Every structure is written in C-alpha cells, then in structure tokens.
Amino acid sequence: QFPAQLQDSNAAIRFLRANAARYAIDPARVGVWGGSAGGHLTALTALTCKDTALDPAAASDGCVQAAVTWYGVFDFAGMNATPDGNSAGSKLLGCTGPCTADQNRLVSPVAYIDAKDPPFLLIHGDEDKVVPAEQSRIGEAALKAAGVPVQSIFIPAVDHSFIGKTPAETRDASLQAINATFDFFHQKLGVTKK
C-alpha cells in the first residue's frame, strides 16, 4: 500500500547515487521515467523530493533533474468517473469503499506540484481508455500554473500503452514516444548525442 512504492523508488535512486562511481553515473544529472502506474510513481518521485511525511528516509535525498511520464495518473479524484470507479486508487490506498477526498489527494501528484519541481515531459494517447488523456492535461495545467517547465505530446488515435488500431500505428506511436523521451533527457540532463 501507498507510500511503500514511493519509498522504494526513492531508495533505488538513493542507492544509485551512493554507488555512482561504481556504475559510472553522474549523480547530479538524474532523470526518472515511467508509464501507467510507473508514470504515476515517476511523477510522485519527482514532485515529493525530501518529503519526510511520505518517506521518513528522504530528508537528505537529492532531487531529480527531469521526469517523463507516459499515460500516468495525476489526480486520483478524476479517476472516479472511469468505468472501474477508480479501483486502482482504492487498491493503492487500501480504501474500503470509495476513497475520501483527502486520501485521493495524498496519492495524487498534482497535490505536490510547486515551482521548485524539475521539468516534465508528458506523453499520452488521446484515445486511452485505461487512464484518460485528461490526466496528463490536468498534470500539464498544474505544472504550467506553478511555473514548472512542461512539454506534452498527445498522440492521436492510440489507446493505453500507445496501442493503435494496427501494428504499424502502435509501432509509430511507440517510436514517437521513445524518441521524444530520449531527446528530452538529452536536452534537460545535458547529455550529448553520439
């Protein structure tokens, strides 16, 4: 149950930074990226840096410098209108019955956005039936309102996981997303292309 997965994500970054020399990692240039539940977790990881209420071990953590979410949830209250009635949020929080507004806010990345957050790239299929594209629009609007640099790509005619109506459409959408993701990280993390 939440926030165990956020604590795991923070612990993984903490481990990589502590072992940066061993793995040839630059601990000052860290980006996070995930899709669906991983997109939600990516957003929370990037937005809750040093939040000891959610992770008691986070006080001395370094923050990430860039984040990419693919079709992730930004506001669990907005998921209540989905066909499953936000069963994912209920399972994540362990709610018996519908989760309260406070419970939904606790797990919603939009609740943690402020001006100190890293730049974001949001990518979503505009026909996503699992996590509506509106979730990325909510995240985009909140990030912009806080003055956080954000780029968004809404890929036409694809569902969750960038699944199109044909294998070719799925491939094209997936390549668009992966190329945009690497371009974003190259730009934001100062990585030169070889």
55, 124, 128, 152: the active-site residue = 128
Torsion sign across C-alpha atoms 36, 42, 45, 48: negative
36, 90, 136, 152: the active-site residue = 36
Alpha helix stretches (DSSP H) within the chain: 4-18, 20-23, 37-47, 87-93, 101-107, 134-145, 167-189
For residue 60, indicate whether it is catalytic.
Answer: no
Tokens 């957003």 locate to 43
For residue 36, indicate whether it is catalytic.
Answer: yes
For residue 26, indicate whether it is catalytic.
Answer: no
Is cis: bond before 3, omega within 30 of 0? yes
Q: Treating both helix axes as pointing N-terminal to C-terminal, what angle do 4-18 and 37-47 enclose, rounded to 10 degrees?
A: 70
d(CA 80, CA 97): 12
Residue 187 makes CB contacts below 8 A (sequence gap 6+) with: none
51, 126, 160, 161: the active-site residue = 160
Which tokens in the block code for residue 60?
A: 């001395």
d(CA 134, CA 155): 13
Which residues are part of the catalytic machinery? 36, 128, 160
